[in-house]
Amino acid sequence: MTTPSLLILAGDGIGPEVMAEVRRVIGWFGDKRGLTFDVTEDLVGGAAYDAHGTPLTDETMAKAQSVDAVLLGAVGGPKYDALDFSVKPERGLLRLRKEMDLFANLRPAQCFDALADFSSLKKDVVAGLDIMIVRELTSGIYFGEPRGIITEGNERVGINTQRYTESEIERVARNAFELAMKRGKKLCSMEKANVMESGVLWREVVTRVGADYPEVELSHMYADAGAMQLCRWPKQFDVIVTDNLFGDLLSDAAAMLTGSLGMLPSASLGAPMENGRPKAMYEPVHGSAPDIAGQGKANPIACVLSFAMALRYSFDLGDEADRLESAVSAVLEKGVRTADLLGEEGVTPVSTTGMGDAILAALDESL
């Protein structure tokens, strides 16, 4: 049996720190569960620009195309703000998504019971929250043409184009319906069909795909109303499918319902490879947090849970993913907290490495 392959791109800021804890978790699964991975590492974002003058080399892109999964830390930081747009660290991330054709971005918003008080909403509104947002990732306004800044008369005009084909909408919708079938069989599609032709097409295609999934309860909602409902009563949702722009906004809003961006993973999935597994990249939702980089304050949980998603979606190891997620939950129940989660009485403050220690100890206890 071929050893599953994993490319680690730690990136910038706190990326290397949180990824170091994931490497320890990967090592634990090898030592204690006999699950070995062929792991290689490379550079992306600002780190790649510093070394090579580009946020992603062709060689690294080729590696990403050849492995079973990519695990990414974070990219960017103020150091790179003055760079030309074409070589900013984020362009490396966008290139990975585009060239690997990772069209479905899965962003769970799950509120651990131990952290319900950290949400800005009332505890009864968020306790037990478990939403999956499926965001289309490779089309829409972030990629549409024409785009740019032009001059009209005596002023400049910024142009971005929202563009979707039927096939682009259909494939992400089908992915969302498949997920809904494995969860609560409830799917809400969000767009702006009242003012955007792309939204009209989106609604039509999602409705058509829904006919193939009669067991799934399909509803439609304008994205601005969806944002309001996420803040009012988020537990009404199970799976949400939406476009690139609205998915970016709605998933960040849903993330903060849970209390901390440092807690949330994501998966970006593409078409199946020859082995039947989807091309995939996994990354925490949080950014590079340069203000705390190198201080041992970063919360590694989002990156650890991103690896749990890789176990589930890329390596068909759902039971081991459950084991890792349960270990994280157990650590939080014991009151172990990194700096972003302090504020309660009776908690145990730990560093980035200390949180990794606690997760490994909980994994040991799971055996």
171 among the known binding-site residues?
A: no
86 among the known binding-site residues?
A: yes
Give catalytic status of residue 224 as yes or no.
Answer: yes
299 among the known binding-site residues?
A: yes
254 among the known binding-site residues?
A: no
| Active-site position among 130, 252, 322, 357 | 252
| Active-site position among 50, 101, 130, 224 | 224
342 among the known binding-site residues?
A: no
356 among the known binding-site residues?
A: no
The three state secondary structure string of the chain is: CCCCEEEEEEECCCHHHHHHHHHHHHHHHHHHHCCCCEEEEECCCHHHHHHHCCCCCHHHHHHHHHCCEEEEEECCCHHHCCCCHHHCHHHHHHHHHHHCCCCEEEEEEECCHHHHHHCCCCHHHHCCCEEEEEEECCCHHHCCCCCEEEEECCEEEEECCCCCCHHHHHHHHHHHHHHHHHCCCEEEEEECCCCCHHHHHHHHHHHHHHCCCCCCEEEEEEHHHHHHHHHHCHHHCCEEEECHHHHHHHHHHHHHHCCCHHHCEEEEEEEECCCCCEEEEEEECCCCCCCCCCCCCCCCHHHHHHHHHHHHHCCCCHHHHHHHHHHHHHHHHCCEECHHHCCCCCCEECCHHHHHHHHHHHHHHCC
45 among the known binding-site residues?
A: no
289 among the known binding-site residues?
A: yes
212 among the known binding-site residues?
A: no
298 among the known binding-site residues?
A: yes
| Active-site position among 49, 142, 213, 282 | 142
| Active-site position among 42, 49, 164, 192 | 192
Give catalytic status of residue 186 as yes or no.
Answer: no
Give catalytic status of residue 192 as yes or no.
Answer: yes
| Active-site position among 12, 238, 248, 340 | 248
89 among the known binding-site residues?
A: yes
Q: Which residues are known binding-site members?
A: 77-90, 97, 107, 135, 224, 248, 252, 287-299
Q: Which residues are annotated as a binding site for substrate?
A: 97, 107, 135, 224
Residues annotated within a binding site for Mg(2+): 224, 248, 252
Which active-site residues does the annotation give? Answer: 142, 192, 224, 248, 252
